[in-house]
């Protein structure tokens, strides 16, 4: 039972009440992922409606990861979700260890479920760690490869900065850091829209909300990889018109996306010369060596 007058001890607007318990807003934002894990995990992690679609969407990424790892490596998956990457990677490569970190307990519970069902995947030992990516409970220089997929973009940039320091700390010298779908480009209409939304979050006193997409300039990304020996930024995708207009009500937003943005973007992609396409990329993937 919450005694109302004790609420005077709290910083204004710092908590939300959930079944009689006060949850700090920053924690509450992250538990959104637990709810999504219960509802539709494939949609939450890769916008796919079922496992088959998730497998299809994962093919290029798994092929890329395989180029940067070797059997026996210890791999850290930051924000691993329900283990989508492991699910498609481990049947193909036997690793020395798979360390999966995620702040959503429910996601890791799903990860554990399918891992326990598959003998092939179990040839790689797995450690499931319910933690934040900016406070990794791991030893210095302990892992060979780090992957981060579709996680940074949902975090405030200050969290990403701390997470990158942690990643730098735990990866061995010469180890690889692979970042996928995590740095959407700021210099796009989507980026401008996202920056306006961050201003709104700041005004609402919720700048750190976990979920809304944060957008990056090339120089900001390079700064995050200071002191790495090699850093390669790969422009991915094509977008001119924003595929969503976040301030539109849902039905109008669908009309915009399906009726205008998607067909116009496809047409423009076909007629844009290859050398100009990087200027319209949706995001940068990164391959870095410590």
Q: Which of 236, 209, 234 is nearest to 221 (CA)?
A: 234
209 binds ligand SAM (CB under 6 A): no
Q: Considering the complex, what minimum distance in angstroms separates the CB of residue 159 from ligand SAM?
A: 6
Q: Work out which of 48, 89, 100, 159 binds ligand SAM, going by CB under 6 A.
A: 159
Q: Which of 203, 205, 210 is nearest to 29 (CA)?
A: 210
155 binds ligand SAM (CB under 6 A): yes
**Which of 214, 280 has the CB closer to ligand SAM?**
214
29 binds ligand SAM (CB under 6 A): no
191 binds ligand SAM (CB under 6 A): no
103 binds ligand SAM (CB under 6 A): yes
Q: Considering the complex, what minimum distance in angstroms separates the CB of residue 205 from ligand SAM?
A: 20
d(CA 192, CA 289): 31
Q: Work out which of 48, 79, 90, 290 binds ligand SAM, going by CB under 6 A.
A: 79
Stretch in the footprint of ligand SAM (CB under 6 A) among 43-51, 92-100, 249-257, 259-267: 43-51
Q: Work out which of 65, 75, 102, 242 binds ligand SAM, going by CB under 6 A.
A: 102
Q: Considering the complex, what minimum distance in angstroms separates the CB of residue 239 from ligand SAM?
A: 19
Q: Are 84 and 114 in contact (CB under 8 A)?
A: no
d(CA 221, CA 226): 9
Q: Considering the complex, what minimum distance in angstroms separates the CB of residue 68 from ligand SAM?
A: 16
Stretch in the footprint of ligand SAM (CB under 6 A) among 153-161, 187-195, 238-246, 259-267: 153-161
Beta-strand ranges (E) seen in 31-170 are 74-78, 97-102, 126-130, 143-149
**Which of 194, 280 has the CB closer to ligand SAM?**
194
Q: Considering the complex, what minimum distance in angstroms separates the CB of residue 107 from ligand SAM?
A: 4
Structure tokens at 10: 């709290």
Task: Encode burial over 69-97: b for 16+ CB neighbours within 10 A, e otherwise.
Answer: beeebbbbbbbbbbbbbbbbbbeebebeb
150 binds ligand SAM (CB under 6 A): yes
Torsion of CA 87, 91, 95, 99, to 10 degrees: 10
Q: Give 198: exposed, middle or buried? Use CB within 10 Å, 0-12, 13-18, 19+.
A: middle
171 binds ligand SAM (CB under 6 A): no
Number of alpha carbons in the 13 Å side-chain half-sphere of residue 233: 21
Count of all residues that appear for the chain in the document: 290
224 binds ligand SAM (CB under 6 A): no
**Which of 69, 149 has the CB closer to ligand SAM?**
149
80 binds ligand SAM (CB under 6 A): yes
d(CA 118, CA 116): 6
Q: Are 235 and 284 in contact (CB under 8 A)?
A: yes
Q: Are 285 and 221 in contact (CB under 8 A)?
A: no
Q: Considering the complex, what minimum distance in angstroms separates the CB of residue 99 from ligand SAM?
A: 13
Give me the residues that bind ligand SAM (CB under 6 A), please: 33, 44-46, 79-81, 84-85, 102-104, 107, 132-133, 149-151, 154-155, 159, 210
């Amino acid at each position: 039972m919450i005694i109302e007058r004790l609420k005077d001890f709290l910083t204004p607007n710092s908590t939300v009440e959930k079944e009689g318990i006060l949850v700090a807003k920053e924690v509450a934002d992250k538990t959104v992922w637990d709810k999504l894990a219960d509802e539709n995990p494939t949609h939450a992690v890769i916008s796919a409606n079922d496992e088959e679609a998730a497998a299809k969407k994962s093919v290029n990424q798994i092929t890329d990861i395989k180029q940067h790892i070797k059997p026996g490596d210890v791999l850290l998956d930051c924000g691993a979700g329900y283990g989508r990457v492991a699910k498609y990677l481990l049947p193909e490569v036997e690793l020395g260890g798979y360390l999966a970190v995620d702040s959503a307990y429910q996601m890791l519970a799903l990860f554990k479920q399918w891992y326990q069902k598959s003998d092939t995947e179990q040839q790689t030992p797995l450690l499931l760690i319910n933690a934040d990516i900016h406070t990794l409970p791991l030893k210095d220089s302990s892992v060979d490869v780090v992957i981060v997929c579709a996680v940074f973009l949902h975090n405030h940039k200050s969290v990403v900065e701390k997470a990158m320091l942690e990643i730098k700390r735990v990866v061995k010298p010469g180890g690889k850091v692979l970042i996928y779908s995590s740095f959407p480009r700021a210099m796009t209409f989507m980026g401008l829209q996202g920056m306006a939304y961050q201003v709104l979050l700041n005004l609402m006193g919720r700048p750190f909300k976990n979920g809304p997409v944060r957008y990056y300039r090339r120089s900001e990304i390079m700064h995050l990889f200071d002191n790495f020996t090699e850093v390669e930024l790969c422009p991915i995708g094509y977008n001119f018109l924003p595929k969503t207009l976040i301030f539109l009500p849902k039905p109008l937003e669908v009309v915009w996306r399906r009726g205008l943005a998607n067909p116009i973007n496809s047409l423009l992609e076909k007629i844009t010369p290859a050398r100009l396409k990087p200027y319209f990329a949706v995001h940068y993937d990164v391959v870095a060596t410590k």
